[in-house]
A and B are shown apart, each in its own frame.
Chain A
Amino acid sequence: MHPFALAAIGGVMIGTSAVLLMALTGCIAGISGIVGGLLPPKPVADRSWRLAFILGLVAAPAALRTFSGDVLIGPPTVGTPVLIAAGLLVGIGTALGGGCTSGHGICGISRLSVRSVVAVVTFIAAGVLTVFVTRHVLGA
């Protein structure tokens, strides 16, 4: 199947997950929020569904490996120092901005939240600029 068709099907699965979570538990399927709620200094009270969600995320590639023989996980494109810096930035940014590609991107846009649309435009612009600088200016 063409990668773009798979991408759209994957998107539909992500959307189905978000609707399921909202319909049954009333929660937004935002990964940074789900993970962040478990962290100190003040972890939230409803931790079990969050832990289960994360377990589900990690179990998915294992299931794919069983049925298709491929986990469909690509290798990192950068070295460890860049991964550490990028990880810190992603953690700080999503916690400060209150969401990531899923919470603001999928769920926020679907709720027609102006905050989320602004966040999505901002993080895509920052990402585009970053890739432009690292690949085409610095030539990394």
Chain B
Amino acid sequence: MRGTLTGLLAGFLFGLGLCLSGMTSPAVVQGFLDVAGAWNPALLFVMAGGVAVTFVGYRFLVPKSKPLWASRFSLPTATRIDTPLLAGAAIFGIGWGLAGYCPGPAVVSLASGRIAVVVFVLSMLVGMILVRWMRSGSRASMPSLAAEENR
């Protein structure tokens, strides 16, 4: 129950941050990626603010042996720079540039009630399921795909 309430509060705060920062407007995100056009650095300010707080906050948590309400910190263990990481990031970047949506802002934008956003999110879920399905079937032959992920 505490974990669920934490999730709700964290999601709400995260969503507010995305809306206020302009990241829920695809035009703003694509403006950041459009370095040869009317470049909009807003996304840099979001990253700077987000990383500054998270970096300092995580440092405070490092000496702690476990989170307040769970038995351990669930941190990614993979360290290898492998093909799935590079290919995945590149594929994600292409989709991100095409539509101006990454997963967070897309989910938040569902609240606008626009069918187009629902279509994007459903397509995204299909893409995720495809990879999860492929990975579950090829775990033995492709160990790098089964590596602990940064989630």
Q: Which residues of A contact B (CB under 8 A)?
A: 3-37, 39-42, 46, 48-64, 71-78, 80, 82-111, 113-116, 118-120, 122-132, 134-136
- Set of chain A residues within 8 Å of B57, measured between Cβ atoms: 15-16, 18-19, 22-23, 110
Q: With A and B bound together, what is the CA distance between A111 and B99 in angstroms?
A: 29
Known contacts: A21-B10, A100-B102. The answer to whether A39 contacts B108 by CB under 8 A is no
- Set of chain B residues within 8 Å of A100, measured between Cβ atoms: 92, 102-104
- Can you spell out 21 A-B residue pairs with CB atoms less than 8 angstroms apart? A8-B21, A10-B49, A11-B48, A22-B67, A25-B3, A26-B66, A26-B74, A31-B104, A46-B3, A56-B12, A60-B15, A61-B19, A73-B111, A87-B101, A87-B121, A96-B88, A97-B85, A124-B93, A128-B33, A130-B94, A135-B34
For chain B, residues 16 to 72, give those with C-beta under 8 angstroms from any C-beta of chain A: 16-28, 30, 33-37, 41-43, 45-55, 57-58, 61, 66-70, 72
B141 contacts the other chain (CB 8 A): no
Q: With A and B bound together, what is the CA distance between A17 and B57 in angstroms?
A: 10
B-side interface mostly: helix
A-side interface mostly: helix
Q: With A and B bound together, what is the CA distance between A82 and B53 in angstroms?
A: 35
Q: With A and B bound together, what is the CA distance between A42 and B147 in angstroms?
A: 15
Partner of A56, one of B11, B22, B136: B11
- Set of chain B residues within 8 Å of A116, measured between Cβ atoms: 150
Interface size (B, Cβ < 8 Å)? 117
Q: With A and B bound together, what is the CA distance between A39 and B136 in angstroms?
A: 12
Q: How far is the CB of A45 from chain B (nearest CB, A)?
A: 12
- Set of chain A residues within 8 Å of B49, measured between Cβ atoms: 7-12, 14-15
Q: With A and B bound together, what is the CA distance between A54 and B14 in angstroms?
A: 10
Q: With A and B bound together, what is the CA distance between A6 and B40 in angstroms?
A: 14
Q: With A and B bound together, what is the CA distance between A59 and B114 in angstroms?
A: 15
Is there an interface contact between B123 and A128, defined as CB atoms closer than 8 Å?
no
- Set of chain B residues within 8 Å of A10, measured between Cβ atoms: 16-23, 46, 49
Partner of A74, one of B26, B102, B149: B26
B87 contacts the other chain (CB 8 A): yes
